Structure 1
Amino acid sequence: MNWLWAIILGLILGLIAKAIIPGKQQIPLWLTVIFGMLGSVLGNWVATGIGVEDTKGIDWIRHLLQLAGAIVIVAVGDRLWVALRGNRKKTV
């Protein structure tokens, strides 16, 4: 996978993860892309570990694992971003 496809996949997975996670995430777009890319790598690693990294046709299990990895990393990364930046919006 070349870098352009990794960035595109990271953007798509990061945006889908942000849409699935309840509430508003405060991470910027560039960080969403990076977290999506990391989620993709995490999902591929898990898929390799359970033996579904390469199947005939579309690798649905691998793609779902990539999305799950992106969801986890975006959620944790957003909380870390808010904690480090200290600009969490308070609701009354």
Structure 2
Amino acid sequence: MIVLSDLLVDFSTSTQSLGALQEAAYRLIGQAACQIDEAAGRFVCRLTPSQQQLQGDELRVHFLNLVTDENLREKVGRETDRLRDVIVALAFGSLTEGE
């Protein structure tokens, strides 16, 4: 019998967004459960593998890669917000001109 053990990964609340951690945790569904707690200025993520395929360092690396990906998605979203607003405004503006 193989015992799957929990793994803790923690992040500073001053440098890591909760949203990115939640998105990464969501993407882990099927591979591990992730409980996120906040304590003493840290987000503590408890990863509980749900299968034997990802354990220990492999699970940690996979989770960190997902968090990195979500951080990049947030950054790109922030950087393109204005452009997206302009595109939407232009699109809706052109629709009303035809009336």
- TM-score between both structures, scaled by the size of structure 1: 0.39
Taking structure 2 as the reference length, the TM-score comes to: 0.37
Find the structure with the greater CA-based Rg: 2
Bigger strand fraction: 2
